[in-house]
Amino acid sequence: MLSCKSAQRVHTASLRIRAEGCVDSMMTKLVLFDIDGTLIDPGGAGRNSMTRTFEELFSIEDAFAHIMMAGKTDIQIIRECLSAHGLSSDDGMLSTILSGYTDNLKITIKNQQKHVLPGVFELLKALDELDSYWLGLLTGNIEPGARIKLNTFDLNKYFPFGAFGSDNEDRNKLLPIAVEKFREMTRIDIPYSDCIVIGDTPSDVVCSKPYGARSIAVATGRYRYEALLQTQADHVLEDLTSAMPIICQDKKEDHP
């Protein structure tokens, strides 16, 4: 269920479209968040769920031991693991694996190590209160997996839409999908330059750059602050406790 504010804004945009035929997008900002390592630390739930699934389907123990997951889409990770073990990645097999993965994720997400990362609750609440900012997801998680993870912390209410690894397994193609979903939801045409992509890996930065979107890299995941400084991120933060002024600064610079 969406937050009251988010639901009201979607409804208001719909009413304005009916009355005026369009909505002014000049002051609108779209802030798109990665999930793992950015909003939450799932306590290894995703990796453990995939590992369980491969054990159940293929009798392979610790199948992902040598697979780097950070910054990749779920389907990309699974294809890489299948290839490493000499297994087929045809569409039928992927569907079976993803089904098992989401079933197991409902169990593994109940671990005691999971937690919301610093500054997240405060940032989402503050942005949700601002009429000119819209929140969405841009994540390598398949959508069912993303929703399972966020639901554990009651965070789904802030994100009425998103672009997911189940929309395209190539992360670099997700930003246009997010913008199109936003347009379909609100009938607001927003340029990429008014999008801000927030994530914890170099891949989150890379996926924003071809389109001219802003990027904020946050060192709450696998990559340290110093490593993220080597990316082309517009801003690099230790965590999201200091993100609000940066996001608002971007807006102020665009619209003096």
| pLDDT tens digits, one per residue of 207-248 | 999 999 999 999 999 999 999 999 999 999 999 999 999 998
56 and 25 share a domain?
Answer: no
pLDDT in tens, 196-210: 999 999 999 999 999
pLDDT in tens, 45-94: 999 999 999 999 999 999 999 999 999 999 999 999 999 999 988 868 99
Q: What is the domain count for the chain?
A: 2
At 95, the pLDDT band (50, 70, 90 cuts) reads: very high
199 and 101 share a domain?
Answer: no
For residue 116, the cross-strand partners are 40
195 and 226 share a domain?
Answer: yes
End-to-end CA distance of the chain: 35
Domain span at residue 63? Answer: 45-108
179 and 98 share a domain?
Answer: no
Sign of CA dihedral 90, 167, 110, 116: positive
182 and 207 share a domain?
Answer: yes
pLDDT of residue 130: 94
Domain end among 59, 82, 108? 108
130 and 239 share a domain?
Answer: yes
Assess whether pLDDT exceeds 90 at residue 164: yes
**Per-residue pLDDT averaged across 157-171, rounded?**
97
